[in-house]
Chains A and B, each alone.
Chain A
Amino acid sequence: MAGSKTYDPYEAWKNLMINWEKQANDVIHFWTNSRDYIKWSQGATDLQLRYLEMFQRNQQLLLTQLQLPTKKDLANVAKLSIQTEEKLDALEEQLWNVEDAIESTNKQVGSLTEVSREAVKVIKQLKTEQKRDKKELETIDEIHFELLEIKRELAEMNSLKEEIASLKAQLAGSKQDKEKELAALTK
């Protein structure tokens, strides 16, 4: 139905109650906002507290006579457990420091291990190089020996050459002698 709205009695009641509540609260604040009310309120509180104090005193007396712990006794025990908790907390925090120290030591040890691992690697490399050098040295020794051999052989060849030269000279001398003998014979 265009233009018409449904009446909700609950909604109307709600609006009425909310307005009433607001006005009632305003009235209460207005009435209680006075020195007289405050004095009366303090008097009522004092009276209530006086009765409660009396009750507490009597209860404590009774509990003491019955050898039973009072609320204060139980509170004292609870306070001891709170103190223990605080000590445990302090210990935990100290353990944090130890934990942190161990962690940093572990880190240092880790870096030292890393360094020593590097050193081992370098030593291994050096050893390999040393082996290689040794082999090279052996090769050089062999070459040196061979050179000496060649030198010796060359020296031997030189002496052979000299012998051949002297034989050659002897042969030339004997040839001349023979020619002289032949010339003498032919004459």
Chain B
Amino acid sequence: MDDILSRLAKGLASGLIEIVDLTHTLDADFPVMILPPEFGQCARFRIEEVSCYDERGPAWKWNNFSCGEHTGTHFDAPSHWVSGKDLPYGSVDTVPLGNLVAPACVIDCSAEAEQNEDYLMDVDKIREFESAHGEIQRGSWVLMRTDWSQKKGSEYINLREDGAHSPGPNADAVRFLVDERDIIGLGTETVGTDAGQAFHANPPYPAHFYLHGAGKCGLQCLSGLDRLPAKGSIIFAAPLKIRNGTGSPLRVLALMNGSGNIPCGS
């Protein structure tokens, strides 16, 4: 009888377990959160060549890169928000390991988001998910699928004079997930866990406020959620171990049951 990890390895090798990449490529021109100019800004991803098999280093190529903690596909730790500033284990270097590898529930809001760029996922939508797929288990990631990751550039950030317009959860939905379901965190395809117009909600940015206030985490700028099943996938989302870091760009991978036809990782 194989042990559980051996069975996992066989599943990966045979393609019965499939790996899905939920990450955007770190690209200098990928949109970031825009704040009013008088505030500090999120650094864009940048890359500077150190050497390229040339007089600066004849046999090797390497780059320096720089970015903000919240650039590209990234992880939000509880200490990112003022509501989570005093929590223990609130920064990326201390977040419990169990939060970094966990099952995911994917709530499909793509039809609603297509109809309404300001769509807010509510408690009814979550209950509708649960009646179809069973209750969201404690210790799960909840991923809000909107297919927003398929938009590019200005359509993705969707900035207008009255701010950004993109879907997100409403305050009650976040409180429900936190208080009633004790999730690990919320993941979205948009530039934040909150909706584009969430500054005007009460409290402002309710997803950030309630998630991080309760020690929960966030994943943003995810892609490929359309490939995941509603339930049954496992998310690997380990941020860089930055001392006192509030977040980090990261590679988010999901394991899900595959057909066995496609070799793992292709």
Query: Are A and B part of the same complex?
Result: no
Residues of chain A whose beta carbon lies under 8 Å from any beta carbon of chain B: none
